[in-house]
Structure 1
Amino acid sequence: MPRSFSDSPPLFELTFRPDFSYEKKAMKRGLWPLAGLDEAGRGPLAGPVVAAAVILNPKKIPDGLDDSKRLTAERRDELFAEILKKASAVSVSSVSAGGIDRINILRASLEAMRRALCGLAIRPLHALIDGRDVPPGLTCGAEALVKGDQRSQSIAAASIVAKVMRDRMMHNCGRSHVHYGFESHMGYATQRHRSAIDLHGAVPRIHRTSFSPFRIDGEVVVEETIELLVDA
């Protein structure tokens, strides 16, 4: 039975590890295959938001799956390789910095997850999604789980895949734009990154110009919006 999460503050900090209980519950309801969905890169000033969808093989679940933020980079890389080897299906998608500027980061994150699910080689009957929102236009039923990457192993696997893939993209950006140090901060607003922006300006198609510090008098530079695509 899935653990219940209370809104009351704990007397002391408790650390939970994701398990397979939500997946087993779905199996009993006939909702298998099931995909875990998560994204990486909502907060940075640069780079895409990347989402992953993972259908685990219940007989070959990698040991140590957890919220990607609680793992070292080395451990994430190890688990990434295991997930690709053992999972029944894995899909990755992204929305670029320009897309984020056009539709905003929340909608871009949901769209990236929708695309990732549509890209799976196996069609899932249900999806578990990290966060509070279910992406519109999914091809199956879905359930949003707050802190899902710390509760569901399928979501944890997706969080690892999304994080590793995005980090590798930012490493490549660092090779192409050596003044910004993308390979060290992954596009987040570190002092080094902000100093590089002040000195060299924004990189077209890499920096998110709707984010601070790319705003003038509090107004977003790019104001155009578009509707989320609903076709695969």
Structure 2
Amino acid sequence: MPYEPPTHRVERSLRATTGAKVVAGVDEVGRGAWAGPVTVCAAVTGLRRPPEGLTDSKLLTPRRREQLARELGGWVTAHSLGHSSPEEIDAWGMTAALRTAAVRALEGLPMRPDAVILDGKHDYLGRPWRVRTVIKGDQSCVAVAAASVLAKVRRDAMMAELGESHADFAFADNAGYPSPVHRAALEEFGPTPYHRLSWAYMDGLRRWQHLKKIRTEPVEQIGLF
């Protein structure tokens, strides 16, 4: 199937129909991981032509993602990253943690967006934000594709850094997602402080099941997050 680069179609539509002058694309990474934060990027790109090869971060090699992230850093009008820690995910559930991370990203921008393009079909942001959800927005919308790449590269770097002190878990390779190496390390050593203790994978760790819990209050965020 031929590559179809993302466009500004949705951004232009929002400008025309709502009068929005500042449109932010929002995408997340880390939702399905066992360890690490969920990370959200909000990117404002304007209507300029994007760097060559921009698309959904999952369709790019790690090397190309990193190259594009460097290009995007100087190309986007503005971008900001927000994170929700494993403790917050355990305490609030993923939907609330996603919203918190997204709000942190949006509020970190130097300007308040008039409209937000959210990747996917579910609006986990809600009021007071003016949201347009777009299925596969990370492939079709320039601002969302930029957010996808910037979020993925930043979170991967964070997980690689955590992996330096937890080498058996191979976080630099799996970014906290399920993998045979990750599962074997969990069975032998148990979860690290960076694991989500309320998740179903804990049910398969007989030796460590006593650690499974849902915290009723979020604890202070780990410094990296």
- TM-score (norm: length of structure 2): 0.87
SS of residue matched to 1:37? strand
Q: Aligned-pair distance for 1:115?
A: 1.4
In 2, Cα distance between the equivalents of 1:61 and 1:136?
26
- What is the aligned partner in structure 2 of residue 163 from structure 1? 152
| 2:174 counterpart letter in structure 1 | H
- What is the aligned partner in structure 2 of residue 223 from structure 1? 214
Q: Aligned-pair distance for 1:160?
A: 0.5
Unpaired stretches in structure 1, ≥5 consecutive residues? 1-12, 228-232
Offset from partner CA, 1:154-202 (integer Å, 9 cap, x none): 1111011110010000000111112211111111110000000111111
In 1, Cα distance between the equivalents of 2:53 and 2:100?
28
- Total equivalences in the alignment: 214
Larger displacement relative to structure 2 (216-225 or 175-184): 216-225
Offset from partner CA, 1:14-36 (integer Å, 9 cap, x none): 86542111111122232121000
- What is the aligned partner in structure 2 of residue 190 from structure 1? 179
In 2, Cα distance between the equivalents of 1:56 and 1:113?
17
Aligned residues of 1:209 and 1:215 also touching (Cα < 8 A) = no
Aligned residues of 1:38 and 1:159 also touching (Cα < 8 A) = yes
- What is the aligned partner in structure 1 of residue 15 from structure 2? 27
Aligned residues of 2:102 and 2:125 also touching (Cα < 8 A) = no
Does 2:44 align with 1:55? yes
In 2, Cα distance between the equivalents of 1:201 and 1:69?
29
More helix by share: 2
CA 38–225 in structure 1, closer or farther in 2 if over 3 Å, else same: farther
From 149, 165, 190, the counterpart of 1:201: 190
CA 28–220 in structure 1, closer or farther in 2 if over 3 Å, else same: farther
- What is the aligned partner in structure 2 of residue 10 from structure 1? none
- What is the aligned partner in structure 2 of residue 72 from structure 1? 61
Aligned residues of 2:125 and 2:131 also touching (Cα < 8 A) = no
CA 169–128 in structure 1, closer or farther in 2 if over 3 Å, else same: same
In 2, Cα distance between the equivalents of 1:208 and 1:214?
9
| 1:101 counterpart letter in structure 2 | D
Give the root-mean-square deviation of aligned CA atoms: 2.3
Offset from partner CA, 1:108-157 (integer Å, 9 cap, x none): 12221121111111221111001122234655311111111112111111
Does 2:78 align with 1:109? no
Q: Aligned-pair distance for 1:75?
A: 1.0
Unpaired stretches in structure 2, ≥5 consecutive residues? 219-225
- What is the aligned partner in structure 2 of residue 230 from structure 1? none
Equivalences for residues 92-103 of structure 1 within 5 A = 92-103=81-92
Identity %: 35
SS of residue matched to 1:197? helix
CA 139–161 in structure 1, closer or farther in 2 if over 3 Å, else same: farther
In 2, Cα distance between the equivalents of 1:16 and 1:77?
21
- TM-score (norm: length of structure 1): 0.84
| 1:165 counterpart letter in structure 2 | R
